[in-house]
Amino acid sequence: MLDFYQAKKEILNKKVLDEVDLAFDESALRVLAARYLLRDEKGMIIESPKQMFERIAILVACSDILHDERLYDINHRQIPKGPQYEPGRGMWSDIPAIGGYTLNRYHIEALERLFIELDTGYMKVRFFDVIDMIQRGEFDSYEARIKQYYDLMVSKDFLPNTPTLMNAGAPLGQLSACFVLDIKDDMAAIMDTAKDVAMIFKSGGGVGINYSTLRPEGDNVKSTSGVASGPISFMKVIDAVTGVVKQGGKRRGANMGIMNYNHPDIAKFINCKTTAGELENFNISVGTDTGFWEAVSEDRIYTLTNPRNGHVPGGLNATYILNLIAECAWKSAEPGLIFFDNINRLNPLITQKGPLNATNPCGEQSLYPYESCNLGSINLSNFVKDGQFEYERFDQVVKLCTRFLDNVIDVNKYPLERINTETKKTRRIGLGIMGLADALFKLDIPYNSEAGYTIMNRLAERLSWHSMQESSRLAKERGSYPLYDAQEFANHFPVAGAEGDEYWRYLKGLIAQYGIRNAWTTTIAPTGTLSMIAGCSSGVEPAFGLAFEKHVTVGKFIYLNEIFMEKLRTIDYLPEFMASIESKIVSNYGSCKGVDGIDYNTQKVFVTAMDIHWADHIYAEAVWQKWISNAIAKTINMPGAATVADVKRAYLIAHELGLKGITVYRDGSRAAQVLHVAGDKAHTTAQPSAAVKKALGALTVNEYVDEEIAQVFDSAPTPVMAIAGGSVIPYQVFEMTCSCGAQLARTDGCMSCKSCGWSACSSS
């Protein structure tokens, strides 16, 4: 008898599948097996997906248990006792369990670590008393909470970031995706930073560093009477470290290298990745502030500053630098831009800790030095039932996920003690979303439409409102983040859209009364790997394509978007048309737009990244950014025919719309032509939507910026695809290949593998 599940059994090395194995498709199980399921010393899989989700859920609930009022006193009235053991303690007669969930040694270690931290006046009992109470079943009521966390993940409603999936309840125990380090202008300090980078990569995280503190190339080195090699040379040191240290023993790490616009080496930095093979383990971005954009708008020279001594060695024309950034991004998709003025305008710690000046590898998470952040994403596609979005269920899931991520801070095993300390001063979390494109497909709403942007706005606001409300509730139960200052938080409230509305006034009053547990609560991360596990589209991106090629060990096959195919089946197309749909979509750049036989409404709703004008990509990100307290990882896709001027205009629009950063990817830049089809097809074009024209038309900045923005609408439509010489490239991928042999593509502003799920951004 034919075994329809044989492939799943082979992937998981199992003879019998359970309900969780059956709930995930083969692609998801391949990713879990390759990256997340625990293995023995011989490399054999020793846990199932069900066991993986259980070990995560148990660990996360450990924080809930230790904050139980029978153990924890929020008023800090207890005398510290320490986690002392009686003679012979450490081995218990029974393995501790919470109801039907058994704790392993790593769960108990996490309980002890957190207990030690809380036993500075908060704990009413000794640590071995906690274990005894667990063994007596006094905390079995928390079985329901563990089940809630477990169901969140197994249902694919929510998934935490990659390090949590890898390491929760496991030996490494490091759960955060994002880290930022500083680097001092001293050789010993630089090497110390390189060592810290290695430890973070070993634990499974990605690192961002602003290299603007290092003296420029050719500058004086007093100790040797020599000259400095400059920041870029030390970036190469970090790049080399990255190449030899795998994250969690499973993959290479990722870096964000940042240089501020006023560093003397800025022009060299902008060009540092235009040569193939240079700094391959880095994303790079230029840091800007209000001073730069004012100089751009006035087309004038700004001053450069040597970080070693504050000396001003000269200046550069701001428009020249912006054009140089745009030209390099046009050629190679880098550098990106970071808008530190927009970031710090809404920074509730600006007075106490100063401005933020670095981000994680994909730019969505700004952090202070040695601060980290754990991320997680809610699958919006799961909340569409019978053509309606389940808003109330979404609200409840947001609250539970907020508690989940706050608990992760407590039970995390940080790679460095300083990271543990700095992270818990702010308790920053990053709750985000994925599956937006699929949700809109199910709702029959075009991504780039007034209705689409209205849905995005509503979802983004609810995400932040309910996460902050739950964070305030957690503050009432457990206390605010240690650096919380009510006045400063109110003055620099981290959500741009939270003005004048009665619901936000209520929430601000709640926070003023009880405080807030997390300084920032929301982030939209790239979700390449998580999306493959959940079986949904990535982050806030539109669909990459309705059809694209996937590489697996047995060969290549074409993946068709199942929601799109289901739509076609409901319309009841003729069998011969359905039989040819794969080739029709593949030969049309993965899009259904303009395909003969597909009805107008379907073409309008099922848009892909390249069907959408780049200005709509920016506007979609701006709609989300209005409500997201951290930032957003998103690619601003441009067609191959886009110009350097288009890239520059994208930068101006993004800054004025309040984005905190921008990554532009022009189709064909740094890409190889991997598929060709014959045909004789006219140009297809993407034009800005009516919603974007309305928004940008109302934007009044200054004469220079206004004129540049006007050019977006005055110029001819930009070709998305053009057949030349009888052939067209349906989609393109990076020249680099993954360790599994498949080629890499840029999605969510991040290089990732559509085959095995590898992503250069550790948060995915």
Model confidence pLDDT, tens digit, residues 247-259? 555 566 789 999 9
183-187, 628-632, 677-681, 695-699, range with the lowest pLDDT: 677-681
Contact 142, 61 (CB under 8 A): yes
Domain-located, residue 148: yes
Question: Would you say the pTM of this structure is higher than 0.85?
Answer: yes
Averaged over 682-710, what is the pLDDT? 85
Contact 226, 242 (CB under 8 A): no
Please tell me the distance from the alpha carbon of residue 512 to that of residue 744, in angstroms, as a whole number: 47
Helix, coil or strand: residue 611: helix
Domain-located, residue 17: yes
Residue 1: per-residue pLDDT: 44
Domain-located, residue 479: no
Residue 115 scores a pLDDT above 90: yes
Model confidence band, residue 544 (pLDDT cutoffs 50, 70, 90)? confident
Same-domain status, 196 and 291 = yes
Model confidence band, residue 246 (pLDDT cutoffs 50, 70, 90)? low
> What is the rounded end-to-end Cα distance, in angstroms, of the chain?
39
Please tell me the distance from the alpha carbon of residue 702 to that of residue 448, in angstroms, as a whole number: 27
Same-domain status, 43 and 139 = yes
Percent of the chain with pLDDT over 70: 87
Same-domain status, 279 and 213 = yes
Residue 729: per-residue pLDDT: 29
Same-domain status, 189 and 314 = yes
Averaged over 712-720, what is the pLDDT? 68
Residue 752: per-residue pLDDT: 64
Residue 208 scores a pLDDT above 70: yes
Same-domain status, 266 and 340 = yes
Same-domain status, 192 and 129 = no
**750 pairs with which residues across the strands?**
747
Residue 271 scores a pLDDT above 60: yes
- Chain centroid to Cα 754, Å, comes to 17
Is the backbone peptide bond immediately before 494 cis, with ω within 30 degrees of 0? no
Helix, coil or strand: residue 1: coil
Model confidence band, residue 81 (pLDDT cutoffs 50, 70, 90)? confident
Give me the active site residues, please: 360, 362, 364
Residue 550: per-residue pLDDT: 61
**661 pairs with which residues across the strands?**
338
Please tell me the distance from the alpha carbon of residue 617 to that of residue 647, in angstroms, as a whole number: 13
Averaged over 318-337, what is the pLDDT? 95
Domain-located, residue 244: yes
Same-domain status, 76 and 24 = yes
Residue 224: per-residue pLDDT: 66
Q: Which two tokens stand for residue 20?
A: 């969780």
Contact 584, 578 (CB under 8 A): no
Domain-located, residue 45: yes
Contact 611, 447 (CB under 8 A): no
Same-domain status, 138 and 192 = no
Model confidence band, residue 741 (pLDDT cutoffs 50, 70, 90)? low
Which has the higher per-residue pLDDT, 722 or 561? 561
Model confidence band, residue 23 (pLDDT cutoffs 50, 70, 90)? very high
Range list of β-strands (E), 628-706: 635-638, 661-666, 671-673, 677-678, 684-686
Contact 520, 427 (CB under 8 A): no
Mean pLDDT, the chain, rounded, equals 89
Which has the higher per-residue pLDDT, 35 or 344? 344
Same-domain status, 137 and 278 = no
Averaged over 199-223, what is the pLDDT? 90
Q: Which two tokens stand for residue 169?
A: 């309840």
Please tell me the distance from the alpha carbon of residue 56 to that of residue 158, in angstroms, as a whole number: 13
Contact 63, 113 (CB under 8 A): no
Residue 587: per-residue pLDDT: 85
Residue 674: per-residue pLDDT: 31
Domain-located, residue 704: no
333 DSSP assignment: S
Q: What is the pLDDT of residues 133-192, one digit of tens each?
A: 999 999 999 999 999 999 999 999 999 999 999 999 999 999 999 999 999 999 999 999
Residue 557 scores a pLDDT above 70: no
Please tell me the distance from the alpha carbon of residue 280 to that of residue 282, in angstroms, as a whole number: 5
Q: Which two tokens stand for residue 556?
A: 């290549």
Residue 219 scores a pLDDT above 50: yes
Averaged over 481-499, what is the pLDDT? 97
Model confidence band, residue 675 (pLDDT cutoffs 50, 70, 90)? very low
Buried b (16+ CB within 10 A) or exposed e, 252-265: bbbbbbbbbbbbbb
Q: Show Cβ contacts of residue 343 under 8 Å, excluding neighbours closer than 6 positions.
A: 356, 366, 631, 660
Residue 223: per-residue pLDDT: 65
In the chain, the number of structural domains is: 2
Same-domain status, 230 and 137 = no
Please tell me the distance from the alpha carbon of residue 755 to that of residue 752, in angstroms, as a whole number: 9
The pairing of strands 206-210 and 251-252 is unpaired
CA-closest candidate to residue 625, choices 697, 520, 528, 524: 524
Residue 461: per-residue pLDDT: 98
Averaged over 694-699, what is the pLDDT? 91
Residue 722: per-residue pLDDT: 37
Q: What is the pLDDT of residues 678-692, one digit of tens each?
A: 233 334 568 999 999
Q: Show Cβ contacts of residue 97 under 8 Å, excluding neighbours closer than 6 positions.
A: 103, 134, 135
Model confidence band, residue 725 (pLDDT cutoffs 50, 70, 90)? very low
Q: Mutual orientation of helices 562-571 and 575-586 as an angle, nearest 10°? A: 150
In a 13 Å sphere around the CA of 712, the CA atoms on its Cβ side amount to: 31
Contact 516, 468 (CB under 8 A): yes
Residue 554: per-residue pLDDT: 44
Contact 614, 636 (CB under 8 A): yes
Same-domain status, 88 and 131 = yes
Sign, CA torsion 121/81/91/45:
positive
Domain-located, residue 718: no
Residue 556 scores a pLDDT above 90: no
Contact 658, 626 (CB under 8 A): yes
Residue 37: domain span: 6-156
Residue 221: per-residue pLDDT: 83
Averaged over 370-391, what is the pLDDT? 97
Q: Show Cβ contacts of residue 359 under 8 Å, excluding neighbours closer than 6 positions.
A: 180, 208, 256, 258, 285, 338, 365, 366, 367, 631, 661
Instruction: Give me the DSSP letters along 395-435.
Output: HHHHHHHHHHHHHHHHH---SSHHHHHHHHHH--EEEEEE-
Q: Which two tokens stand for residue 299?
A: 């087309």
Contact 666, 333 (CB under 8 A): yes
Domain boundary among 325, 352, 379: 352
Residue 377 scores a pLDDT above 80: yes
Please tell me the distance from the alpha carbon of residue 429 to that of residue 502, in angstroms, as a whole number: 25
Contact 286, 335 (CB under 8 A): yes
Contact 459, 393 (CB under 8 A): no
Which has the higher per-residue pLDDT, 90 or 590? 590
Domain-located, residue 390: no
Domain boundary among 336, 352, 368: 352
Q: Show Cβ contacts of residue 385 under 8 Å, excluding neighbours closer than 6 positions.
A: none
SS (HEC) of 45-97 = ECCCHHHHHHHHHHHHHHHHHHCCCCCECCCCCCCCCCCCCCCCCCCCCCCCE
Domain boundary among 352, 381, 414: 352
444-458, 475-489, 665-679, range with the lowest pLDDT: 665-679
CA distances from 194 to 240, 245, 277 (A): 10, 11, 21
Beta-carbon count within 10 A of 450 CB:
14
The residue behind tokens 């993004």 is 654
Residue 251: per-residue pLDDT: 61
Same-domain status, 193 and 325 = yes
Instruction: Give me the DSSP letters along 238-286.
Output: HHHHHHH-EETTTEE--EEEEEETTSTTHHHHHTTTSSTTTTTTEEEEE
Residue 10: per-residue pLDDT: 94
Q: What is the pLDDT of residues 429-475, one digit of tens each?
A: 999 999 999 999 999 999 999 999 999 999 999 999 999 999 999 99
Residue 565 scores a pLDDT above 60: yes
Percent of the chain with pLDDT over 90: 74
Model confidence band, residue 723 (pLDDT cutoffs 50, 70, 90)? very low
Residue 53: per-residue pLDDT: 98
